[in-house]
């Protein structure tokens, strides 16, 4: 059995919804080296560089994706999901097998055209241009449109969250929000992972760029660190079971949980968590990245510093100042 037979046999076990013998990155790279070696041998033997177009479809996708990432000032040596076929599969939910089949058929068509058209060597550049130009135009023309934010059935913008294990239940979000979850970011995401029938992937600054996100992580320091490099805009989620008076300022990225009560004149910073059933009295100031725990109470005129954590059931009396990044234990009373 030669190498061709082995590769064809491997395709039988891989070309399906769930691979029986998954080659993975190691197998893919090995096969790629084998294909490139055969092409180089063919080009050197015949002296015809046009055979490089046997890799035309994937070559155009790869080169233009690298250019795209350089324009976005991304590290091209880091993992990403910006290939045209990845946008089709991950964002547009086109089946993997359909995308692979279309790629294969287009490449076969190019190979047939190359083998059955006889141009002079001086016309090869024109033939190559006529073959590659449609692929380039398709990539440039459709990729931007495919990456636009999707709308839900109510024609509302879709949001997505960073971390999935402690995310807000968006089925309860009220009319102030008008968001539904589109996808989740998680640094520990695995390939093709799903959660609640939504895509889970590592952070990608281009993925659905026009959609806002909320960082659903309880650790205040981690939230601040993530905000420092996230390039998306942020939205604010207020549960429809929360009570907030009219004269309250709520910063971007803040999440207000069910049962929270916020009285008049309260100033809530950015990326704050107001947990279940907490009560914030009048004219309280809450700094960025703070966390007000479940069933806790903040008295009128109190100042909660940046990154401070008020434990569950804690009571902060009136006009008390909690310094930045202070941790108040649960059930404490601060006077």
Instruction: Give the catalytic positions in this structure.
Output: 282
Contacts of range 114-119, beta carbons closer than 8 Å, 24 or more positions apart: 114/50, 114/51, 114/53, 114/54
- Bridge pairing between strands 297-298 and 249-250: unpaired
- Alpha carbon separation from 309 to 37, 300, 329, 331 (Å, rounded): 59, 18, 8, 13
d(CA 306, CA 326): 9
CA contacts within 13 A on the Cβ side of 77: 0
d(CA 276, CA 307): 18
334 within 8 A of 322, measured Cβ to Cβ: yes
DSSP, collapsed to helix, strand or coil, labels residue 9 as: helix
At 90, phi and psi to the nearest 5?
-80, -35
End-to-end Cα distance, the chain: 82
Listing from the earlier edge strand, what are the strands of the sheet with 243-244? 243-244, 261-262, 279-280, 297-298, 315-316, 333-334
Residue 323 DSSP symbol: P
B/e letters for 114-123, b = 16+ CB within 10 Å, e = fewer, are beeeeeeeee
CB atoms within 10 A of CB 81: 17
């Amino acid at each position: 059995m030669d190498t061709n037979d082995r590769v064809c046999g491997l395709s039988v076990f891989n070309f399906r919804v769930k691979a029986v013998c998954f080659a993975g990155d190691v197998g893919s790279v090995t096969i790629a080296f084998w294909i490139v070696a055969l092409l180089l041998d063919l080009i050197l033997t015949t002296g015809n560089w046009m055979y490089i177009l046997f890799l035309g479809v994937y070559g155009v996708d790869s080169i233009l994706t690298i250019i795209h990432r350089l324009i976005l000032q991304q590290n091209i040596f880091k993992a990403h999901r910006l290939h045209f076929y990845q946008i089709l599969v991950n964002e547009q939910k086109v089946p993997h097998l359909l995308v692979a089949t279309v790629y294969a058929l287009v490449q076969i068509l190019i190979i047939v055209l190359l083998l059955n058209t006889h141009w002079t060597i001086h016309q090869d550049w024109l033939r190559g241009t006529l073959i590659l130009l449609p692929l380039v135009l398709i990539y440039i023309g459709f990729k931007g449109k495919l990456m636009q934010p999707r709308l839900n059935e109510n024609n509302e913008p879709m949001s997505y969250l960073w971390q999935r294990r402690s995310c807000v239940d968006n089925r309860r979000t009220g009319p102030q929000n008008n968001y539904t979850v589109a996808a989740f970011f998680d640094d520990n995401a695995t390939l093709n992972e799903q959660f609640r029938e939504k895509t889970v992937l590592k952070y990608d600054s281009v993925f659905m760029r026009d959609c806002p996100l909320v960082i659903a992580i309880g650790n205040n320091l981690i939230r601040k660190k993530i905000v420092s490099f996230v390039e998306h805009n942020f939205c604010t989620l207020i549960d429809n079971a929360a009570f907030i008076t009219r004269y309250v300022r709520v910063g971007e990225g803040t999440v207000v949980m069910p049962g929270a009560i916020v009285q008049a004149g309260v100033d809530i910073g950015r990326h704050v968590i107001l947990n279940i059933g907490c009560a914030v009295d009048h004219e309280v100031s809450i700094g960025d990245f703070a966390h007000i725990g479940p069933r806790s109470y903040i008295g009128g005129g109190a100042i909660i510093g940046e990154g401070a954590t008020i434990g569950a059931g804690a009571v902060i009396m009136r006009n008390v100042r909690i310094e930045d990044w202070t941790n108040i234990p649960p059930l404490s009373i601060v006077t």
